[in-house]
Amino acid sequence: MFPLRLAELHPIVVHFPIALLITSVALDFAGCFLHRAGLTTAATWCLLLGVPGAYAALFSGFLSERDVALAMAGSMLHLHKVCAVLTTFSFSLLLLVRLIWLLPTLYVKSLPPLVVALYLLASVVSVVLLGLTGYLGGAMVYDRGVGQPLP
């Protein structure tokens, strides 16, 4: 058995929150347009599990930075980190808004359409940030060879 290096932890951790957060947004849109409360509940659970996963991915990324060949990553690593922080922050805000909506004292059967539209717009922006973060991470690995074992 070989020991797990910190740089190998990040790609293991990162994919689970990516799937959960994208699924959360997709379920929100489906729940909104199909008028199914169950889909919105599923979206809430995905968001509730995906945000702590995003923090785990962010933390593992910061830990793995020590093992990265900075010369190979260049400025792309800095941009990847900035996008990752913004993504985690934006999904955290979405979760906070969602939890406030779920408070029993503030619970309303139907939210105003403008509020729903703004929430969905913020969700789309968050997914775009997530996609950009993933693209930059993938480009560092596959285009620049960051984190790849040396021959």
Could you report the per-residue pLDDT of 100-133, keeping only the tens digit for each? 887 765 555 667 788 889 999 999 999 999 999 9
CA–CA gap between residue 60 and residue 56 (Å, rounded) = 6
Task: State pTM to two decimals.
Answer: 0.87
Domain hosting residue 42, numbered range: 6-140
Domain count, the chain: 1
All residues at 6 or more sequence positions from 9 whose CB lies less than 8 Å from its CB, including other chains: 60, 63, 64
In a domain, 1, yes or no: no
| More confident call, 89 vs 111 | 89
In a domain, 145, yes or no: no
In a domain, 146, yes or no: no
In a domain, 20, yes or no: yes
Half-sphere exposure of 97 (CA within 13 A, CB side): 14
- Could you tell me the CA-to-CA distances from 86 to 4, 25, 83, 90, 132 in Å, in that order? 28, 17, 5, 6, 11
In a domain, 123, yes or no: yes
CA–CA gap between residue 85 and residue 62 (Å, rounded) = 11
In a domain, 151, yes or no: no
User: What are 4-23's pLDDT values in tens digits?
Assistant: 666 678 888 999 999 999 99
CA–CA gap between residue 90 and residue 22 (Å, rounded) = 13
CA–CA gap between residue 135 and residue 142 (Å, rounded) = 10
CA–CA gap between residue 125 and residue 133 (Å, rounded) = 12
In a domain, 64, yes or no: yes
pLDDT value of residue 139: 87
CA–CA gap between residue 43 and residue 40 (Å, rounded) = 5
In a domain, 147, yes or no: no
